[in-house]
Amino acid sequence: MASVSTQPQFRYTQPPSKVLHLRNLPWECIEEELIELGKPFGKVVNTKCNVGANRNQAFIEFADINQAIAMISYYASSSEPAQVRGKTVYLQYSNRQEIVNNKTAADVAGNVLLVTIEGADARLVSIDVLHLVFSAFGFVHKITTFEKTAGFQALVQFSDAETATSAKDALDGRSIPSYLLAGHVGPCTLKITYSGHSDLSVKFQSHRSRDYTNPYLPVAQSAMEGNGQSVMGLDGKRLEAESNVLLASIENMQYAVTLDVLHMVFSAFGPIQKIAMFDKNGGLQALIQYPDIQTAIVAKEALEGHCIYDGGFCKLHLSYSRHTDLSIKVNNDRSRDYTIPNPPPPIMNTQPSISGQQQAPMNGPPPQQYNTSQYAPMNNQNFIPQSQAGWGTAPPAGPQGMQRMHNNPYIPPGTMPPQAGPGMMQYPGHIQ
């Protein structure tokens, strides 16, 4: 009878752990059988049975790592493999260091997996590569990819929890095979937990989202045309899919940042079509929509890493959004559609600002009421709005003047940047 060491394993170089992963167990193997199997080598302190799509996998945890090593070493060199009910059982070290039975949201089995791709080139892993990897375990219904503070992530939806569990158990902690990746892409490791979702919403097929159950779903324009939106350029160096919509994250918010402040900052590079602000992960974020991708590229390159206020306050971090056309349902102090010729007066949003109580302006007139003219794209070269009209908050008097962004002198034709308020950054080409 062949020994276990000649059998295929999930992980060939997995470091020792006091938790062992067992495969090819009899149907619905019980805890007592697992304890009996491990008893000759030490004390089994915990087990997890009936794992995987076929419920034929399990985990056992020893009190000491040397006991687990003894069991693996014995069966690796023995001519008689480990058996339960006369069936050969394959053993390997688990990537877990302990078995946790108290289930958190990420431990509750579901049909949707949350996948975090780790590695310097994680964002270069395409949705097609992910589909190829996960479809080896069953039919993949949908995939969406996105970026969070944890890094580049994906949601992968299977038909049922059993199939998802099988994929999770086999792939968690493993690297994507190098032959599936482009030659310049470094190692990428998969970290997998269960998601709280049960049915993903995919509105169109693109390089960021796929619905494999609906062949009639519209294809996003960015997926049909190049338009600079490919995830990886011809030189293999592009990390982001370019878009006409920018996602702005603002850190170190010592002063309030309003919708009109954002409009003043970003309209220096071209007409703004829409802005939507929202609180996320304890910070303020905003989506800024330009009419075309090139204008968004120029704004991103010029503004990335710069601070709205002097002293390093309200620092901008920019990335391209997957959105191409924002849906603004109402004009208020958190969202605005500047493409409407005569928008109704904005509805003031009573949602508290994450920056707490706003600083009172130290200089200039008191805040003015919103008016429709200040939201229209500025096409008159002689029109320069007053520095605090409509946004009403400026930092207290302090170090005067903001760094000038000479790194990008681009000024859209026929457009003059608005006059900066006290302590705010100076825009490209702005003359004092």
Domain boundary among 189, 221, 253: 221
pLDDT at 423: 55
- The Cα 373–Cα 289 span in angstroms is 19
Domain containing 311 — which CATH number? Answer: 3.30.70.330
Nearest in space to 42 (alpha carbons), one of 20, 12, 26, 58: 20
pLDDT at 150: 73
- At 290, the amino acid letter reads Y
Phi, psi of 59 (to 5 degrees): -130, 140
pLDDT at 14: 74
User: Order of strands, edge to edge, in the sheet holding 87-93?
Assistant: 44-51, 57-62, 19-23, 87-93, 82-84
Q: Which contacts of 361-366 are long-range, i.e. CB under 8 A and separated by 24 or more positions?
A: 361/388, 361/392, 361/393, 361/394, 362/394, 362/395, 362/396, 362/397, 362/422, 363/394, 363/397, 363/422, 364/388, 364/394, 364/421, 364/422, 366/392
pLDDT at 265: 93
Task: Give the residues of the chain that fall short of pLDDT 70.
Answer: 1-13, 101-107, 220-240, 342-432
pLDDT at 183: 78
What is the extent of the structural domain holding 291?
Answer: 245-337
Domain boundary among 157, 186, 221: 221
Q: Is residue 103 part of a domain?
A: no
Place of tokens 């997996």: 113
CA angle 224, 229, 234 (to 5 degrees): 100
% helix, strand, coil for the chain, step of 5: 20, 25, 55
74 and 136 assigned to the same domain? no
180 and 265 assigned to the same domain? no
Q: Is residue 100 part of a domain?
A: no
Q: If residue 309 lies in a helix (H) or strand (E), which one and from where to where?
A: strand 307-309
Place of tokens 């020893």: 62
- At 221, the amino acid letter reads Q
Q: Is residue 323 part of a domain?
A: yes
pLDDT at 89: 92
Q: What is the pLDDT of residues 214-259, one digit of tens each?
A: 878 887 655 544 434 444 433 434 446 778 999 999 988 888 889 9
Q: Is residue 172 part of a domain?
A: yes
Q: Is residue 232 part of a domain?
A: no
Q: Is residue 6 part of a domain?
A: no
Phi, psi of 159 (to 5 degrees): -70, -40
82 and 119 assigned to the same domain? no
86 and 125 assigned to the same domain? no
**Count of domains observed in the chain:** 3
119 and 213 assigned to the same domain? yes
Q: Is residue 373 part of a domain?
A: no
How far apart are the two ends of the chain, measured CA to CA in Å?
Answer: 87
214 and 125 assigned to the same domain? yes
125 and 212 assigned to the same domain? yes
Q: Is residue 385 part of a domain?
A: no
Domain boundary among 302, 320, 337: 337
